[in-house]
Structure 1
Amino acid sequence: MFVLIPAFEPGPALPGLVADLRRADPDLDVLVVDDGSGPAFAEVFAGAREAGARVVTHEANRGKGAALKTGLADIAVHFPDADVVTADADGQHTPSDVLRVADALREDAGRGRSALVLGVRDFGGDVPLRSRVGNAVARSLFRVATGRRVTDTQTGLRGIPADRIPWVLGIPGEGFEYEQRVLLRLAPDGVAVREVPIATVYLARNASSHFRPVRDSLRVLMPVLLFASSSLAAFVVDTIALFVLDLVTGWLVPSIVAARILSATVNFVVNRRVVFRARDQAVTGQAVRYGVLALALLASNIAWMSFLTENGLALLPAKVVTEGVLFVLSYGVQRALVFPRADAAPPARTVRADTAPLVTADPDAMTTTPITGRIR
């Protein structure tokens, strides 16, 4: 098993963390990725090497997500059967908590279970206000975006089973937002998750952290928020048109159809131009796919609205309930099928060292030392 530590301009705690991990569990191999910290931090990384870690270096800073991917790809190539625990370099993760996550991976492996293990904090005690508020906001945004509750969406202490490393490598992202993208893909990709309680540790009021909880959370969740705004605008258009047409004609189903055609047109234009920024792709194919989705949603809308109103629910509450149910489905389908990203990374595959070179997005941007260690 490996402990993977991405590090950008780390403090002096890094060598001690490596030494403590190696002393606590000699079966753990430690891989540190220097994400372009520069010569000023050479002594820290030299100390990590002396403590028993292998260090891989990016020549320039590329972001935490890129550093994690470099380390995971390295391990997947040379030790494809090894599970990985990712930990931060700033001392927030104690050796005992790292070992707790590692033990959870071993326990899952013994039971034939494959789950992403999250070391989660409860944010009790003396926690800096910006961290407490930032993480609360991040948790709320995540729940709004996914409908799922995760206790600590910002934790960098995670256990990744060997068979899930190709999946993790296939998720796009280079910076801090990458770790949240991984969590956002859990439900759509059917990946199990397990939470392990860990200590809440902030050294020097978290002064060494490069993470900005609210800003970085908003960065990854912005498409969802824009989609919600676009859907709200379409909902307003749809609702007004529905009430006007139903009032004038007295025909519910034709009114639903006409209102939906109008609101769908507005929604398609806004989503294409603003939400998914897919203006460089062929509009005809997008329109056809969107039309098929709109018809499916329309059929569902009619079925739900008819059922609810026929069973005594007023028109407006029936409309709100129906649109809420269809919102999540619509977002997922539009993101994946209607407006797919042209630059989305393909799923990664595990490659053995004897059949291919190290998997990395930019081989010239990193240096490394020979692999030593054992497969676990």
Structure 2
Amino acid sequence: MLNPSETMSRTAAAASGPKPVASRGIPGLHELSVVIPARNEAEGLARLLPELLAKLPGAEIIVSDDGSTDQTVAFARGLGVQVVHRPYGSGNGAAIKAGARSASREWIVFMDGDGQHRAEDIERLLARLGEGYEMVVGARSAGGQASRHRGLANAFYNRLATWMVGHPVKDLTSGFRVVRRKRFKEFLHLLPNGFSYPTTCTMAFFRAGYSVAYEPIDVQQRIKGTSSHVKIMRDGVRFLLIIFKIGTLYSPLKLFAPIAAGFFCTGVGYYLYTFLTQHRFTNMSVLLFSAAVIVFLIGLISEQITALMYGNQNSDS
């Protein structure tokens, strides 16, 4: 494995070797910005950056540093890569937003800085843009998950998100994607500073009616000594909360209607029980029926607010 200092000395020779991405009906290299959020990822960048410089000459490459304390910033600058430096860590999502604000090209490629994603896969994602998509996501296989537990959790999130948005969501949490910068910046204010920015971005695109495609990819093993910054239990709960947050913002009735139906069915069941055993209609049944009506009306009002919000957004664009 090359260390950062060895990689810097070999980058110039590697850059003249492979040919750039051949584009036909897809964005050219001069239209690409590559944003890489990084926090103490010097070793991972030692694998990724030379590949990017060799395969994407002319593309804008941005390392969005999130308060690294290792050689991440020095290494990236040593290769001539643009660096957006933050003096302290605010989270992966904060680094993504800072990088997106600095990007100047029409299309943005987001990649992780831990060495998992391969520069050669960018070409396949770009090729799907030629089919008219606004965002293409690199969908990992089951074997590409960091652990069995995380794979099962992501499978659950994908199914839940699919039900929420009404479209197949094959990899809700993938950090490898290419997106039209103008579209992405529409939702910049919604993105959290933590690790669930892909969740918010994906569901927002679907609800806005923008076309999204998934391209299967294989991920590499993380660079030794580079561990995931995601805590499974803590961030798993955050991912789930973000799904429901976006559900209430973009498909409120899909969240509120089942809850209202649950209260109503419970009220009916309790009423039948008390009628058969006590021959009366109890206050608890009234409370359950009232809760069902209130929750449903909240969902209905939220749905109307959402429709108005998106109507105004579409008229502005």
Q: Which runs of 5 or more structure 2 residues have no equivalent in the other structure?
A: 1-31, 246-254, 277-283
Write the distance in 2 (CA, Å) between the matches of 1:179 and 1:12.
Answer: 24
1:334 and 2:302 matched: yes
Structure 1 vs Structure 2 CA RMSD = 3.9
Structure 2 equivalent of residue 265 of structure 1: 290
Q: How does 1:66-215 map to 2 (within 5 A)?
A: 66-75=94-103, 79=104, 81-105=105-129, 107-108=130-131, 113-124=132-143, 128-203=147-222, 208-212=227-231, 215=234
Select which of 4, 21, 40 maps to 1:9: 40
Cα separation, partners in 2 of 1:66 and 1:245, compared to 1, 3 Å: same
Is the contact made by 2:67 and 2:86 (CA closer than 8 Å) also made in structure 1?
yes
Amino acid at match of 2:35: L
C-alpha deviation, 1:237, in angstroms: 3.7
1:224 and 2:244 matched: yes
- 1:105-158 C-alpha deviation (Å, 9 max, x unpaired): 4x25xxxx3421101111237963234333223323433544433111121001
Moved more, 114-123 or 164-173: 164-173
Q: How does 1:270-285 map to 2 (within 5 A)?
A: none
Amino acid at match of 1:334: S
- 1:199-250 C-alpha deviation (Å, 9 max, x unpaired): 1323268961112456434324337399588446423344337768999xxx
Q: How does 1:43-62 map to 2 (within 5 A)?
A: 43-62=71-90
Amino acid at match of 2:79: A
- 1:272-297 C-alpha deviation (Å, 9 max, x unpaired): xxxxxxxxxxxxxxxxxx7xx47xxx
C-alpha deviation, 1:69, in angstroms: 0.9
Is the contact made by 1:15 and 1:44 (CA closer than 8 Å) also made in structure 2?
no
Structure 2 equivalent of residue 235 of structure 1: 264
Amino acid at match of 1:266: A
Cα separation, partners in 2 of 1:207 and 1:134, compared to 1, 3 Å: farther
What's the TM-score once normalised by structure 2's chain length? 0.69
What SS does the corresponding residue of 2:54 show, helix, strand or coil?
helix
Is the contact made by 2:94 and 2:193 (CA closer than 8 Å) also made in structure 1?
yes
Q: Identity, % of aligned pairs?
A: 27
Write the distance in 1 (CA, Å) between the matches of 2:301 and 2:209.
Answer: 16
C-alpha deviation, 1:53, in angstroms: 1.3
- 1:291-330 C-alpha deviation (Å, 9 max, x unpaired): xx47xxxxxxxxxxxxxxxxxxxxxxxxxxxxxxxxxxx4
What's the TM-score once normalised by structure 1's chain length? 0.59
Whichever of the two has the greater Rg, that structure is 1
What SS does the corresponding residue of 2:109 show, helix, strand or coil?
strand
Is the contact made by 2:114 and 2:223 (CA closer than 8 Å) also made in structure 1?
no
Write the distance in 1 (CA, Å) between the matches of 2:226 and 2:302.
Answer: 40
What SS does the corresponding residue of 2:75 show, helix, strand or coil?
helix
Is the contact made by 1:16 and 1:51 (CA closer than 8 Å) also made in structure 2?
no
Write the distance in 2 (CA, Å) between the matches of 1:210 and 1:57.
Answer: 18
C-alpha deviation, 1:16, in angstroms: 3.2
Q: Which runs of 5 or more structure 1 residues have no equivalent in the other structure?
A: 248-258, 272-289, 295-329, 341-345, 348-376
Cα separation, partners in 2 of 1:218 and 1:144, compared to 1, 3 Å: farther
Write the distance in 1 (CA, Å) between the matches of 2:67 and 2:303.
Answer: 33
Is the contact made by 1:22 and 1:29 (CA closer than 8 Å) also made in structure 2?
no
What SS does the corresponding residue of 2:136 show, helix, strand or coil?
strand
Amino acid at match of 1:265: S
Amino acid at match of 2:43: P
Cα separation, partners in 2 of 1:125 and 1:164, compared to 1, 3 Å: closer
Is the contact made by 2:44 and 2:113 (CA closer than 8 Å) also made in structure 1?
yes
Cα separation, partners in 2 of 1:263 and 1:182, compared to 1, 3 Å: farther
Q: Which structure is richer in relative contact order (CA contacts within 8 A, separation 6 or more)?
A: 1
What SS does the corresponding residue of 1:185 show, helix, strand or coil?
helix
C-alpha deviation, 1:194, in angstroms: 0.8
